[in-house]
Amino acid sequence: MEEKQRVAMPRIGEAAPAFTAVNTQGNINFPSDYQGKWVILFSHPADFTPVCTSEIMELAAAQEEFEKLGTKIVVVSADKLVNHLEWKKSMESFRYKDRNPVKIDFPLVSDPDLVIAREYGMIHPNSSSTKDVRGVFIIDPKNKIRAIFFYPMSIGRNLGEIERTLTALQTADQEHVLIPANWIPGEDVLVPNIKSTSDAGDVVKPNDPDFTKPTWYMIFKKGK
**Beta strand segments in the chain, E:** 19-23, 26-30, 38-44, 71-77, 108-110, 135-139, 145-150, 189-190, 211-215, 218-221
Residue 72: CB atoms within 10 A of its CB come to 19
Residue 108: CB atoms within 10 A of its CB come to 24
Q: Are 137 and 16 in contact (CB under 8 A)?
A: yes
Q: Are 31 and 116 in contact (CB under 8 A)?
A: no
Q: Are 133 and 99 in contact (CB under 8 A)?
A: no
The H-assigned helical ranges of the chain are: 50-68, 81-91, 115-119, 159-175, 197-203
Sheet holding 19-23, edge to edge: 26-30, 19-23, 108-110, 71-77, 38-44, 135-139, 145-150
Confirm whether 95 is a catalytic residue.
Answer: no
**Which of the residues 52, 139, 191, 204 is marked catalytic?**
52
Question: What amino acid positions are annotated as catalytic residues?
Answer: 52
